[in-house]
Chain A
Amino acid sequence: MTSPLQQKIKITGPSVVTANRTWDGIVVYRDGKRGWTPDLADAAIVRTADDARALLAESAADDVVAIGPYIAPVIVKDDGAIEPGNLRERIRRKGVTIDLPIPA
């Protein structure tokens, strides 16, 4: 399988790098301090393909803490708030769209 770093990177707007935390699998985002955060508000935002490639490379190198990093679109609101850029990422951030049999 082609490594994410070997794939052609094309972004159409502000983006983040997201992954799942290794020990428990929760959704995390690459922050601007070479670490991971579960809070999208603290994620590093990239706006060019070169920056996205660099952030993804740095994230993939940090294989112990988080796995499966990839670039995901986000929407940056006028007030600076960051929201996921598609349905999949909205579900990853906010959780399932159904009531769980046992409330979390």
Chain B
Amino acid sequence: MYAYDEMDRTLVNERVSEFRDQVKRRLSGELTEDEFKMLRLMNGVYLQLHAYMLRVAIPYGTLSAPQLRKMAHVARKYDRGYGHFTTRQNIQFNWIKLSDLPDALEDLASVGIHAMQTSGNCVRNVTTDQWAGVAPGEVEDPRIWAELLRQYSTMHPEFTYLPRKFKIAITASDHDRAAIKVHDIGLRILNNEAGETGFEVLVGGGLGRTPFIGKVIKPFVHGRDILSYVESILRVYNQYGRRDNIYKARIKILVHELGIEKFAAEVEEEWQVTRESALQLDDEVVADIRARFRYPGYEALSDTPDELTAASADPQFTRWLKNSVAAHQQKGYAIVTLSLKPIGGPPGDATAEQMDAIADLAEKYSFGEIRVGHEQNLALPNVAKRDLPALWRQLDKLGLATPNVNLITDIIACPGLDYCSLANARAIPIAQELTRRFANHDLADMIGRLHINISGCINACGHHHVGHIGILGVEKNGEEFYQITIGGRADEGAVVGTLIGPAVPYDDVANVIEDIVESYLALRARPDELFVQTVERLGVEPFKERVYATR
């Protein structure tokens, strides 16, 4: 966990006081909605279909047990007893009253949590691999650099009114769990030949109306130069980004229209000015940030404790172990993913009761730490393997041990038309029906890794473009229809999926997905050929033929 200092606490508390005054003036009519809207958005407050929604940042997806308990408290006291974890390491409260928001933010501030820069045309919450600091083989804990970028970009006056929102993601592992290639800036930490830490920098990735995979703008930027290089990108974007057209305002459009070479040349020219500035990071500054991350005092433990051996006789436990437990940097420890995708449930939702219980379990089994991943699941990052059977039993009672992580029922879905004022179609009920269709865990295991991502509109909050199967809700003559894409990926081999044909009506979506999966099972070259590999090998035609042969 990162230890915030008095300056951080003062900044967050002062922000709450400012917002309390702004809300008071709005409710009295002193501020019009036009005047207030930007102020509320800067504090993560949206207006949805039925109510205000508060989006709270979880920097680099790391939470302490007290922080998660405070979120449970906010859900219980000011909302309807649950929260929704999003694809960008945020939590959203869907029913909060404007008049309660200052109190809710004050309560969150008491544990160092805030909603700054979770909306607006600024640098948003910097995200990372949810297994940062514990994933085997990572170059370095990427949260150190995410924190540096967070401090640099928070309330940065030059970048508070960018042409459009701006998202940065960082990974330090070969396997990209942070989807860096679909962010405005993607950073991959690596070492150069001299063993120095630096970054491969990608730019211009993004989803939404016009999806693009990020392009490498610089194969290696030394760690000491990363702030100046990021600033140079932001400056070029700030100057040339399309403020005249909201649909063309993201950096991905600028990079596409200029071409990566010309864009890179502009950045390089800017960088020659900023590189030797105060933005150059001294080793001591990085060391200071690094030192503020407190790591657990791991014990010397066995990788094969008796408790684990004994529990392995239970097939339900072994299924969960295989599916939800991953290797850890430390011998005798494991990373445990908590599925927020129960069969028939809304993806990413957790009740206040679950959040409190997870906080208790984190303190008991994971050195008090919880992680939030972009796939809308949680993780306990530091579980001793001897404790896995006991933890599993308790997670199972809480409905958090569905053994479906990375399988077909581990669906990413945006709130869709049930909540969102931008949506054209519902996403959650589609996800719920699909989890029921594929509820049999033996079947899901046989299908193997398969990510279904669902968005209720072209803004693509459900990352449908990069789902192995992507489902996009559209509206046709007042009815909900859904476009299906296949072959997308969000990892290190990121690619945008291919549309298989005309949109299908709401009631037929689950049937179509079943047809696609049946085709895959019949077409795959061997049992361990993943769905995306089959699509890559054969293209979309065989799937298209199957789906539309009778439609």
Contact with A along B389-407 (1 / 0, CB 8 A): 0000000000000000000
CA distance in complex: A49, B80 (Å)? 39
Say if the beta carbon of B231 comes within 8 Å of chain A: no
Known: A25-B97, A87-B480, A97-B426. A102 touches B81 (CB 8 A): yes
CA distance in complex: A98, B84 (Å)? 14
B80 and A100 within 8 A (CB): yes
Partner of A26, one of B29, B50, B81, B478: B50
B80 and A96 within 8 A (CB): no
CA distance in complex: A101, B352 (Å)? 10
CA distance in complex: A92, B345 (Å)? 21
> Using Cβ atoms and an 8 Å threshold, which residues of chain A touch B345?
101
Say if the beta carbon of B68 comes within 8 Å of chain A: no
A 52-104 contacts with B by CB, 8 A = 63-64, 67-68, 86-88, 91-92, 95-98, 100-102, 104
Say if the beta carbon of B499 comes within 8 Å of chain A: no
Partner of B97, one of A24, A68, A91: A24
A23 and B429 within 8 A (CB): no
Q: Which residue of A lies closest to B100 (CB)?
A: A24
A25 and B417 within 8 A (CB): no
B 3-51 contacts with A by CB, 8 A = 26-29, 32-33, 47-51
B81 and A64 within 8 A (CB): no
Q: Which residue of A lies closest to B30 (CB)?
A: A64
> Using Cβ atoms and an 8 Å threshold, which residues of chain B touch A98?
346, 418, 428-429, 432
> Using Cβ atoms and an 8 Å threshold, which residues of chain A touch B81?
101-102
> Using Cβ atoms and an 8 Å threshold, which residues of chain B touch A24?
51-52, 97-99
CA distance in complex: A102, B82 (Å)? 7
Q: Which residue of B lies closest to A96 (CB)?
A: B418
Say if the beta carbon of B106 comes within 8 Å of chain A: no
Minimal beta-carbon separation of A41 from chain B (angstroms):
18
Say if the beta carbon of B351 comes within 8 Å of chain A: yes
Contact with B along A10-52 (1 / 0, CB 8 A): 0000000000101111110000000000000000000000000
Q: Which residue of A lies closest to B23 (CB)?
A: A23
Say if the beta carbon of B419 comes within 8 Å of chain A: yes
CA distance in complex: A20, B47 (Å)? 8
> Using Cβ atoms and an 8 Å threshold, which residues of chain A touch B82?
100-102
Minimal beta-carbon separation of A36 from chain B (angstroms):
14
CA distance in complex: A95, B419 (Å)? 9
> Using Cβ atoms and an 8 Å threshold, which residues of chain A touch B99?
23-24
Minimal beta-carbon separation of A91 from chain B (angstroms):
6
CA distance in complex: A36, B475 (Å)? 29
> Using Cβ atoms and an 8 Å threshold, which residues of chain B touch A100?
80, 82
> Using Cβ atoms and an 8 Å threshold, which residues of chain A touch B428?
98
> Using Cβ atoms and an 8 Å threshold, which residues of chain B touch A92?
49-50
B26 and A22 within 8 A (CB): yes
> Using Cβ atoms and an 8 Å threshold, which residues of chain B touch A22?
26-27, 33, 98
> Using Cβ atoms and an 8 Å threshold, which residues of chain A touch B141?
none
> Using Cβ atoms and an 8 Å threshold, which residues of chain B touch A97?
418, 426, 429
A interface: dominant SS: loop
Partner of B29, one of A63, A101, A102: A63
CA distance in complex: A96, B49 (Å)? 9
Contact with A along B407-432 (1 / 0, CB 8 A): 00000000001110000001011001
Say if the beta carbon of B369 comes within 8 Å of chain A: no
Q: Which residue of B lies closest to A94 (CB)?
A: B50
CA distance in complex: A39, B279 (Å)? 57
CA distance in complex: A23, B28 (Å)? 10
B478 and A86 within 8 A (CB): yes
B33 and A27 within 8 A (CB): no
Minimal beta-carbon separation of B161 from chain A (angstroms):
15
Minimal beta-carbon separation of B198 from chain A (angstroms):
42
Minimal beta-carbon separation of A78 from chain B (angstroms):
21
Name, among A22, A64, A96, A97, the residue most crowded by chain B CB atoms within 10 Å (CB to CB).
A96
Say if the beta carbon of B349 comes within 8 Å of chain A: yes
CA distance in complex: A24, B99 (Å)? 7
Minimal beta-carbon separation of A75 from chain B (angstroms):
12
CA distance in complex: A91, B52 (Å)? 15
A68 and B52 within 8 A (CB): no
> Using Cβ atoms and an 8 Å threshold, which residues of chain B touch A88?
49, 417
> Using Cβ atoms and an 8 Å threshold, which residues of chain A touch B26?
22
Known: A25-B47, A26-B50, A101-B346. A63 touches B418 (CB 8 A): no
Known: A63-B29, A88-B417. A25 touches B50 (CB 8 A): yes
Q: Which residue of A lies closest to B53 (CB)?
A: A25
B33 and A68 within 8 A (CB): yes
Minimal beta-carbon separation of B215 from chain A (angstroms):
31
Minimal beta-carbon separation of B68 from chain A (angstroms):
16
B97 and A23 within 8 A (CB): yes
> Using Cβ atoms and an 8 Å threshold, which residues of chain A touch B479?
87
Minimal beta-carbon separation of B249 from chain A (angstroms):
13
A87 and B417 within 8 A (CB): yes
Q: 22 A-B pairs, CB-CB below 8 angstroms?
A: A22-B26, A22-B27, A22-B33, A22-B98, A23-B97, A24-B97, A24-B98, A25-B47, A25-B50, A25-B98, A27-B50, A68-B33, A68-B47, A86-B478, A87-B478, A87-B479, A88-B417, A96-B418, A100-B82, A101-B82, A102-B351, A104-B80
Closest 4 CB pairs of A and B: A102-B81, A64-B29, A25-B51, A101-B82
Other than A64-B29, A87-B417, A97-B429, give 13 A-B pairs with Cβ distance below 8 A.
Answer: A22-B26, A23-B97, A23-B98, A24-B99, A25-B52, A26-B51, A63-B32, A67-B33, A87-B478, A95-B50, A97-B426, A100-B82, A104-B80
